[in-house]
């Protein structure tokens, strides 16, 4: 099984970049890391004979954690490479809470079904965001879908029953 060049640990506290950078041997790579379309951070990294193999914590970028779209652009001379990954920790937690609430719900109305439907919608948006970032390299679409999923997590229905 081939691993993605850019990955994130399960608790969103470390990103890993491991890529061979086809056709490039030695030198320095300029990595530009952008989280959620915010201010980019540029780091210079030496290229080993095997390519690039580095990891970073959020503190290197001055942020609390890797949530949302993490985009890494690599510039080596005239060659450019881009990779993306989506940090899903807080949205995963939201999905778990909504699912648990729906399972434990004892209402006699549609509130329980609505919570489960919302959890499903958030999950599907999150999966679409991951696909857009990691497979299609459509970073704008990935960020839009992640932001919509996060928005649905904070939205609370006031209908009551």
In a domain, 161, yes or no: no
Give the helix/strand (H/E) hosting 26.
none
Domain shared by 101 and 69, yes or no: no
Give the helix/strand (H/E) hosting 88.
none
Domain shared by 68 and 121, yes or no: no
Domain boundary among 70, 87, 104: 87
**What's the CATH code of the domain at 41?**
2.60.40
Q: What is the DSSP string of 59-70?
A: HHHT-S---EEE
Beta-bridge partners for 69: 86
pTM: 0.86
Domain boundary among 50, 67, 87: 87
Q: Is 11 helix (H, G, I), strand (E, B) or coil?
A: coil
Domain shared by 93 and 150, yes or no: yes
Q: Is 155 helix (H, G, I), strand (E, B) or coil?
A: coil
* pLDDT for the residue 142: 97
Q: What is the mean pLDDT of each run of 10 residues along the chain (161 residues)?
A: 79 92 82 94 90 92 92 92 94 92 83 88 97 94 97 67 36
CA angle 85, 88, 92 (to 5 degrees): 155
Domain shared by 83 and 100, yes or no: no
In a domain, 159, yes or no: no
* pLDDT for the residue 103: 87
In a domain, 39, yes or no: yes
Our count of domains for the chain comes to 2
* pLDDT for the residue 3: 62
In a domain, 106, yes or no: yes
Full domain range(s) for residue 32 = 6-87
In a domain, 82, yes or no: yes
* pLDDT for the residue 144: 97
CA max distance for the chain: 66
Domain shared by 77 and 146, yes or no: no
* pLDDT for the residue 160: 43
* pLDDT for the residue 114: 87
Domain shared by 21 and 75, yes or no: yes
């Amino acid at each position: 099984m081939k691993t993605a060049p850019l990955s994130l640990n399960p608790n969103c506290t470390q990103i890993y970049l491991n890529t061979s950078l086809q056709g490039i041997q030695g030198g320095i790579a300029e990595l530009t890391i952008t989280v959620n379309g915010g201010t980019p951070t540029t780091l210079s990294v030496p290229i080993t004979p095997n390519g690039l193999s580095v990891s970073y914590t959020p503190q290197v970028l001055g942020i609390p954690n890797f949530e949302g779209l993490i985009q890494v652009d690599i510039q080596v001379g005239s060659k450019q490479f881009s990779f993306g990954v989506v940090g899903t920790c807080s949205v995963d937690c939201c999905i778990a809470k909504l699912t648990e609430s729906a399972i434990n719900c004892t209402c006699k109305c549609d509130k329980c079904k609505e919570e489960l439907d919302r959890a499903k919608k958030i999950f599907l948006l999150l999966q679409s965001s991951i696909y857009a970032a990691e497979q299609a390299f459509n970073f704008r679409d990935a960020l839009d879908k992640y932001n919509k999923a996060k928005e649905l997590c904070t939205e609370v229905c006031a209908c009551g029953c």
